[in-house]
């Protein structure tokens, strides 16, 4: 399954830690960081949209960008 705005990843991944998904932009992109830390951001290219993985109390614990091929094995 290709992840996109209409296909979010399944709940329960990461050992059952993912309880929901929320549509967002890449939280690790340089533009999400304060100016003094932008050079340290892990993602420097184009800003991508995708799904943030949420734990049981709504904390973001992961991110899957649109276009990712999800393996259901």
In a domain, 3, yes or no: no
Q: How far apart are CA 28 and CA 40, in angstroms?
A: 10
In a domain, 26, yes or no: yes
- For residue 18, how many other CB atoms are within 10 A of its CB? 21
CB 73 within 8 A of CB 65: no
The mean pLDDT values, 10 residues at a time, for the chain of 73 residues are: 94 83 95 94 94 94 94 61
In a domain, 24, yes or no: yes
pTM of the model: 0.83
Alpha helices, DSSP H, located in the chain: 13-16
In a domain, 72, yes or no: no
Residue-level pLDDT at 23: 98
Residue-level pLDDT at 34: 95
Q: 46 is in which domain, residue-wise?
A: 13-65
In a domain, 36, yes or no: yes
Q: How many domains does the chain contain in total?
A: 1
């Amino acid at each position: 399954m290709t992840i996109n705005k209409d296909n979010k990843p399944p709940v329960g991944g990461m050992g059952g830690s993912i309880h929901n998904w929320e549509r967002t932009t890449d939280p690790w992109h340089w533009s999400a960081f304060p100016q003094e830390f932008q050079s340290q951001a892990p993602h420097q290219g184009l800003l991508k949209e995708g799904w943030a993985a949420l734990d049981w109390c709504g904390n973001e614990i992961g991110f899957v960008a649109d276009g990712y091929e999800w393996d259901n094995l």
